[in-house]
Amino acid sequence: MSSSDIKKEISCKDDFDPSSLDADVARQKILENITPVAGTETLPVRETVGRVLAREIVSPINVPSGTNSAMDGYAINGSDIPATGVAELKLIGTTFAGQPFSGQVNPGECVRIMTGAIMPPGTDTVIMQEHVEYKGDTIIIDNGTRAGDNVRAAGEDIAINDVVLTPGISLTPAEIGVIASLGIGEIEVYRRIKVAFFSTGDELRSVGEPLEAGQIYDSNRYLLYGMLERLGVEIIDMGVVRDDREALQYAMKSAASQADVVITSGGVSVGEADYVKEMLESVGQINFWKVAMKPGRPLAFGHIKNALFFGLPGNPVSVMVTFYQFVQPALRCLMGEKYKGLQTFRVKCQSRLKKRPGRVEYQRGILQRESSGELVVYKTGAQGSGILSSMSQANCFIILPMESGQVDPGALVEVQPFFGIV
């Protein structure tokens, strides 16, 4: 069924709002609007975990730098391996990693060699010590080893002048190690981006203040802080802003003057005091504000001067879902990273999931291995957008596509593990 057919089919149902954007289209529109930062800085390699590489890394050396032994054993010339039966070789020395053997090894001779030691001149094969018999200062070998075995060639991991890493990758411990293996101490990465955020709502109190009737603690700023901290951006926490046009306008302008990105939560629904969309239209440009998804339908995206603006919904679960589905890919793209697409896979769902066609749903799931060994997913329980504990119990999103209705136990569903996105 095409997406326009789906829209026709479900247009009479409550949940479908024809003015809402498809979530994938929304993500695409956001990513199209982003120009990665141009600024870079050069840093010691150790300080770059989580940063995005700005310039390609070309190897100045071979890794390993010399041909060396992959085993503890005996370095020999492969032509000494007998075609049948055994051969006797004279032991003329020992070599350790970091202590090369300086002499020449002639036919009929061998050198005791440790893993990582450079192959002595005249040798090209290592016989494992377990395959050797000793007889005074000679060893006896059989024909069980082939010439060239148990040797690591110079440059077999990385060859000199190879392009090892390309710009746009987010650096992990493995890349840090690879770069160190090349002897490179400093690298060029994109500058950190600055993200300012604030919560909106007259009912919000900050942690530490007493609560009066009808008030709640502001959890969204903590969620946003945690999610942004993980991304390694520079964080500007601007506190809580009242549901007041002037206060919002002032906060938006001030945030945009200090940051590359402004994120707000709350005030984007259609309630009486939801002014975020209106104020964004007055101080910047709005691109869209409704997405056919649950949770998180009201979502404003736009610009205030040079800053990107994301107006997230107020409910804490919606904040997390919209952050991970839209804001995080956008921030990664702005940070210079190449977008890899959603990382999802299909597993059997053991729970019944309530769902009506007309919007994508991001339910919270627990991926676990059954005693049979099969990996399956369960739902976390109540899926209301105010139930933040469901995010804490979950280890994945169960992504139910727009056209899907209720899911019965045993059906296959698409999951997006938190590992890697959270």
Residue from 73, 120, 266, 295 touching Mg ion (CB under 5 A): that is 266
Q: Which does 337 bind (CB under 5 to 8 A by kind): ligand AMP, Mg ion, none?
A: none
SS3 60: coil
| Class of residue 38 by CB neighbours under 10 A (exposed 0-12, middle 13-18, buried 19+) | exposed
Strand residues in 114-210 grouped as ranges (E): 125-128, 132-135, 138-141, 151-152, 163-165, 186-190, 194-200, 204-205
CB of 53 to ligand AMP, least distance (A): 35
CB of 408 to ligand AMP, least distance (A): 31
Q: Are the CB atoms for 65 and 59 separated by under 8 Å?
A: no
Sites for Mg ion among residues 193-232 (CB under 5 A):
201
Nearest-angstrom CA–CA distance, 168 and 332: 10
| Class of residue 343 by CB neighbours under 10 A (exposed 0-12, middle 13-18, buried 19+) | exposed
Nearest-angstrom CA–CA distance, 394 and 163: 40
Element (H, E) at 137: none
Closest CB to ligand AMP among 113 and 204? 204
Closest CB to ligand AMP among 155 and 314? 314
DSSP annotation of 337 reads P
CB of 237 to ligand AMP, least distance (A): 12
CB of 225 to Mg ion, least distance (A): 19
CB of 271 to ligand AMP, least distance (A): 5
Closest CB to ligand AMP among 199 and 287? 199
CB of 176 to ligand AMP, least distance (A): 36
Q: Interface mask (CB under 5 A) for Mg ion, residues 295-314, using x and -?
A: -------------------x
Residues of this chain that interact with ligand AMP (CB under 6 A) are 199, 201, 203-204, 216, 218-220, 265-269, 271, 274, 313-316
Closest CB to Mg ion among 201 and 316? 201
Using the rule CB under 5 A, is 155 a contact of Mg ion? no
Nearest-angstrom CA–CA distance, 313 and 297: 8
Q: Are the CB atoms for 319 and 271 separated by under 8 Å?
A: no
Q: Which does 329 bind (CB under 5 to 8 A by kind): Mg ion, ligand AMP, none?
A: none
Closest CB to ligand AMP among 123 and 315? 315
Residues in contact with Mg ion by CB under 5 A are 201, 266-267, 314
